[in-house]
Structure 1
Amino acid sequence: MPFAILIAAAGAAAGGSLPTVLGAIRGCVLAYTLVLLFRIGDDLADLISDRVRHPGRVLVRASNKTPIVVLALVIALGDVLLMMSQPRPGARIAVFAAISLLLRLWYHRRVRLCAGPLTGAHVVLLKYPAISLLTCASWDGLTLHTALPSLGAIYLGLCIYEQVHDRAVRDSRGAPWIFAAEVGLLAGLPLLALSSGDLLR
C-alpha cells in the first residue's frame, strides 16, 4: 500500500494541483489495483523462468491458474469503470490499453529480440509512470513541466532500485554507465520541477 500511495502522489504532482480527498482516495485505489493487475500479468508471463528462479511464488505453486486469471479480469474491469468515472475517460483507457499492449508484445517478442535483463527491466518498469499518470485526478493541469519530474522520478528511481537489487540486471553489459546516467538524471529532476514554479498549485 505505501508503494501505491507513492505512485498516486506522483500522479497528483503530475497534474500540477492537489487532489480532493475523494480524488486522492480514488487515486490510491486505482494505483493499488493497477499495480496488482500488472504484477499478475508479469508473473503469468514469467511462469516458465519462475519455476526455476522463484519456485515458491504463488502462481508457480498453483495447480489451477484460472481463478487468478479471473481475478485479473475482474480487477481490469473495475479499473476501467473507475477510469470512466474520471475526466477524459477515453484518453485514460487509451493509455491503459497502450501500456497493456506494449507489455504483451514485449513478453511475446523478448526471446526473439535477444533482450537481456537490463533491457527487460527498463521496458517492464514503464508501466509504473503510466499507472501514476492514470491516477492523476485532473488531466487539465498536465504539462511537461509538471508531469516529467514526477513521472520521471518514479521511473528512474525504480530503474536504479532494480539495478541495485537484481544481480542479473546489475551485471548486464553497460549497466554501470546506465546506472550513472540515471542517477544524474534523477538528481536533475528537482531543478526541472523548481523551474516550473507551479508544481502543486
Structure 2
Amino acid sequence: MAAWNHFATDAAGYLRERILTPRIGLLWLLVFAATAATVAEPRPWAWLAVAAAWFLLVFRLGDDLADLDFDRRYHPQRRLVRSRETSAFRLMLVFLVAGLVVLTAWVAGTVQALGLLLLVAALAGVYRWTQDRPELRPLRIALVLGKYPAWILLLADRPWQGLTLAAALAVFVPPALHELRAVGRAMLVPVAAVAAAVIAVWVLAA
C-alpha cells in the first residue's frame, strides 16, 4: 500500500510537471488538428482528441524513461528522476502502449495499429542504439521527433495528398525548432535529415 501511495503521488506530480503544461497543451492541439484533418470520414472527433492526448502521454513518458540517466545528471529535480517507483512507471507505460494500440485499431484500423507497434519498436531501438553515445544525442532527439509526422502519416486516409505532408511537417517543425533553440546548431543536420525522410516517405506513398 505504501508503494502504491508513493507511485500515485509521483505519477500525479509527473503529470503536472511534464504533461499538463502549456507547451504540451499547444502540441496536443496541433497533433489533434493535424490528425483530424487527415483521417478518414466520418471523423470521431472526441476519440481523435483522446487518441492525440494518449499518444503524447505514451511517448512523453517513454522519452523520459529512456532519458533517466541523462536527466539524473542534468535535471535532477524532475519528479521521475527522484521517484523510487520507476519500475511502476515502466509497467504503466506498457499498459498505456497497449491501450493506444487498441484505440488506434478502433479509430483507424488494424494495419495502423500494427504500424504503431513498429513505431514503438523503432524508437526503442533508437534509444538502445544511442544510450551510451552522447555524441549521437542530437541525432537521437531528431529521430525521436520523427514520431509526430509518423503518427500523421500512419493514420492518414490518403497519405499521398499534399494536405497530409503539410500536416506531418506542421507537427514536426515546432518541436524541432524548440530543440534547435535548446540544443543548438548540432541539431540542424539531424533535423533536416528527418524532415527529408518524412518527405521521402510521403513521395513513396504517392
Q: TM-score range by the shorter chain?
A: 0.7 to 0.9
Ranked by relative contact order (alpha carbons within 8 Å, sequence separation 6 or more), the top structure is 1
Q: For 1:97-112, what aligned pairs fall within 5 Å after superposition?
A: 97-111=117-131
Moved more, 140-149 or 24-33: 140-149
Q: CA RMSD in A?
A: 2.8
CA distance in 2, matches of 1:94, 1:113: 30
Other-structure match for 2:184? 170
| Residue matched to 1:6 | 30
Q: What secondary structure, in the 3-state scheme, does the structure 2 residue paired with 1:116 have?
A: helix
Alpha carbons 1:132, 1:151 under 8 Å: kept: yes
Q: Percent identity?
A: 26
Instruction: Structure 2: state its 5+ residue gaps.
Output: 1-24, 200-206
Structure 2 CA distance for aligned equivalents of residues 107 and 100 of structure 1? 11
- TM-score normalized by the length of structure 1: 0.72
Contact map agreement 1:12 1:19 (CA 8 A) in 2: no
**Alpha-carbon displacement from aligned partner over 1:140-196 (angstroms, at most 9, x marks no partner):** 4443312111101211232122102x1xx2042x73x788x79xx9xxx9xxxxxxx
Q: How many residues align?
A: 171
Residue equivalent to 1:82: 103
TM-score under structure 2 normalisation?
0.71
Runs of 5+ in structure 1 lacking a partner?
A: 190-201
Match of 1:161 in 2: 178
Larger helix fraction of residues: 2
The answer on whether the counterparts of 1:31 and 1:131 sit within 8 Å (CA) in structure 2 is no
Shift of 1:28: 1.4
Deviation above 2 Å: which 4+ runs of structure 1?
12-15, 17-20, 111-118, 130-134, 139-144
CA separation of 1:171 and 1:149: change in aligned 2, threshold 3 A: closer
